[in-house]
Amino acid sequence: MRISIKLKFSLFLAALLILAVGVLSYFVLRGVERNELSQTEHNLAQHVNTVNLRVKQTYYTGARLTPQVFMQQRGKALAAELAGFTGLEVTLYDSQGQQAGTSAGGPGPGPGKPDLSTALDYALNNKVAYQSEGDKLFYLAPLQGPEGQMGVVQLQYSLEGARSFQQTLLNLFLTTGGVVLVFSFILGYLYFNRAAASIGRLKKAAEDIRGANYITAPPVRRKDELGELAEGIYFMSREIERSIAAKDEERRKLELAVEKLQALEQQQKQYIGNISHEFKTPLTSIKAYVDLLNMYDDDPKLLHDAKLSIAKETERLYEMVEKVLQLTALEKYDFESQAELLEVESTLRDICGRMKGKAERYGLTVRLDAQPAHIWIDRESFMHIFINLLDNAIKYNVPQGSVHLYSEVRDQRVWITVQDSGIGIPEASREKIFEAFYTVNRDRSRASGGTGLGLSLVRNLVEKQGGTIALLEGSGEGAAFELSFPLVT
Ligand code: ADP
């Protein structure tokens, strides 16, 4: 059976109070009883003195008799007289223990009368003795004569008054105890009700935490142990929430990493497939020429065509191998770049100069409008980036076309744009042109010695140097690539 904590506490408090009241009443009642007894003893001893005095006085003033005869002759009258003095029932015994007279009814012991022989023996031996029977106390004390003890006086004292006082006291204690019990139970119940409500709230908080509903504030605010426990539960809840969130975040990151790895693996497979495919085309062409030469080695036209074609394909293969190696180095190792302070305007001028010959061969003009700026970059990478971009701008241009290279400084960066008046990049390919081996038009690319690796390499180099590259939204004819690098201030 489940007993609630507040009922248990209330019962415990009530039991404690009953015990306290019980112990208190026991000692108080015992004290009162003892006090009354000693008071009674004192009174009775005084009465015995009075009796002794009166008996001696009567003895000496009357005719000379032996104490024995005196007691037998005068005992009865004396007992009645002494009862009048003391207000108590008095019985006198001679030195033989024979009743000499009494103020209380018939003589001697008889049926319905208490047996006082033991107390009487004591008193005959010159000692005080008392015996209580019902609500009566019999007090026996020696009577002193001229030559020692001459008898015994027995005083009968009613304990009724004392008993009823004690009973009243006991009733008072019982009533008080009862009232205290009821009140303490009610008060205790009300008080513990509050504490139990707090415990209930703590229990609810613990259940919430178990169900992953973390608490946002301590469930109880008290300045005692329950309050401290509530604080503890609150901090525990926050810690659990935090560590679970951290674990979730870690798991999410791991899942992301796994996803990335899987994508990378897929990319690598595709990359290797592409490389093999790209390598196969020039090799097939070379092999075909070699076979033809084996068969017709004396045909001068064939020899001429084969020489040109093999040289072109070999050049293409060489370029491809070089770019693949560069890309691999960039992705696998931290590219060995040696950053230096570079002046943008003069370097771009140098690059334009180098590409001028090729542009002229294609009948194109190259224009440069650059602002002076300094950036911190690896010179080799910078050259590579812009030579590749200019090369594309020339390759994918139209006759009598132009290439415009310009730069400006804004937002702590230098912004460089390579714009051409060429064939442009179709909307569908805008997302893909930075992927390795992607070409918009395979035949055109191949015809111009393209490999589909240039922009992939450029983007890698730009990012490694802390820059950005983007293909600008269709700005009329041609294509425009905008790059930016942080300025040295
Ligand atoms: P490729 O060696 O074929 O030039 P890139 O990676 O440099 O390879 O370029 C990828 C593709 O993007 C090219 O095949 C071409 O179709 C397209 N492309 C790059 N630059 C330009 C440009 N300036 N104008 C038009 N198309 C371009």
Q: If DSSP codes are grouped into helix, strand and coil, which group holds residue 418?
A: strand
Given the candidates 3.30.565.10, 3.40.50.300, 3.90.950.10, 1.10.150.250, the CATH classification of the domain at 337-489 is 3.30.565.10
CB 313 within 8 A of CB 282: yes
CB distance 170 to ligand 1 below 6 Å: no
pLDDT of residue 190: 85
**Is residue 277 over pLDDT 80?**
no
pLDDT of residue 475: 59
CB distance 437 to ligand 1 below 6 Å: no
Average the pLDDT over 165-184 and give the result.
87
CB distance 433 to ligand 1 below 6 Å: yes
CB distance 484 to ligand 1 below 6 Å: no
**402, 439, 453: residue to mutate for ligand 1 pocket, most atoms within 8 A of CB:** 439
CB distance 451 to ligand 1 below 6 Å: yes
CB distance 434 to ligand 1 below 6 Å: no
pLDDT of residue 146: 75
pLDDT of residue 252: 96
Say how many Å lie between the first and final Cα of the chain, rounded. 81
**Worst-scoring range by mean pLDDT, 288-297, 448-457, 461-470?**
448-457
The pTM of the whole model exceeds 0.85: no
CA of 482 to the centre of ligand 1 (A): 15
**Phi, psi of 442, rounded to the nearest 5 degrees:** -60, -45
CA of 165 to the centre of ligand 1 (A): 122
pLDDT of residue 106: 52
CB distance 422 to ligand 1 below 6 Å: yes
CA of 450 to the centre of ligand 1 (A): 8
Q: How far is CA 459 from CA 358, 381, 468, 478, in A?
A: 23, 11, 8, 20
> For the chain, which residues make up each domain, given as ranges?
26-163, 337-489
**318, 396, 444: residue to mutate for ligand 1 pocket, most atoms within 8 A of CB:** 396
Average the pLDDT over 322-333 and give the result.
74
CB 156 within 8 A of CB 136: yes
CB distance 393 to ligand 1 below 6 Å: yes
**337-489 has the same fold as 26-163:** no
CB 399 within 8 A of CB 363: yes
Q: If DSSP codes are grouped into helix, strand and coil, which group holds residue 167?
A: helix
**Is residue 456 over pLDDT 50?**
yes
CA of 439 to the centre of ligand 1 (A): 6
Strand blocks (E) in 240-359: 339-343
pLDDT of residue 359: 93
Query: Whose Cα sits closest to atom 20 in ligand 1?
Result: 392
Query: Whose Cα sits closest to atom 4 in ligand 1?
Result: 450
Confidence bin at 36 (pLDDT 50/70/90): confident
pLDDT of residue 120: 92
CB distance 452 to ligand 1 below 6 Å: yes
Mean pLDDT of the chain: 88
CB distance 438 to ligand 1 below 6 Å: yes
For the record, the structure tokens of 142 come out as 């020696």
CB 364 within 8 A of CB 401: yes
Q: If DSSP codes are grouped into helix, strand and coil, which group holds residue 88?
A: coil
pLDDT in tens, 73-83: 888 998 999 99
CA of 99 to the centre of ligand 1 (A): 151
Q: How far apart are CA 198 and CA 216, in angstroms?
A: 17
Q: How far is CA 116 from CA 92, 128, 139, 140, 326, in A?
A: 13, 13, 10, 9, 133
**Is residue 299 over pLDDT 80?**
yes
The residue written with tokens 């009533």 in the block is: 175
pLDDT of residue 217: 93
Please give the radius of gyration of the chain, using alpha carbons only, rounded to the nearest integer: 64
pLDDT in tens, 178-237: 888 888 888 888 888 888 888 889 999 999 999 999 999 999 998 888 899 999 999 999
CB distance 156 to ligand 1 below 6 Å: no
Instruction: Name 92's bridge partners.
Output: 101, 153
User: Which CATH number applies to 26-163?
Assistant: 3.30.450.20
**268: exposed, middle or buried (Cβ count in 10 Å: 0-12, 13-18, 19+):** exposed
Atom index in ligand 1 nearest the CA of residue 449 equals: 2
CB 122 within 8 A of CB 67: no
Confidence bin at 335 (pLDDT 50/70/90): very low
CB distance 441 to ligand 1 below 6 Å: yes
For the record, the structure tokens of 461 come out as 């180099």
CB 467 within 8 A of CB 414: no
**281, 386, 392, 438: residue to mutate for ligand 1 pocket, most atoms within 8 A of CB:** 392
Query: Whose Cα sits closest to atom 11 in ligand 1?
Result: 439
CB distance 421 to ligand 1 below 6 Å: no
pLDDT in tens, 375-422: 999 888 899 899 999 999 999 999 999 999 999 999 999 999 999 999
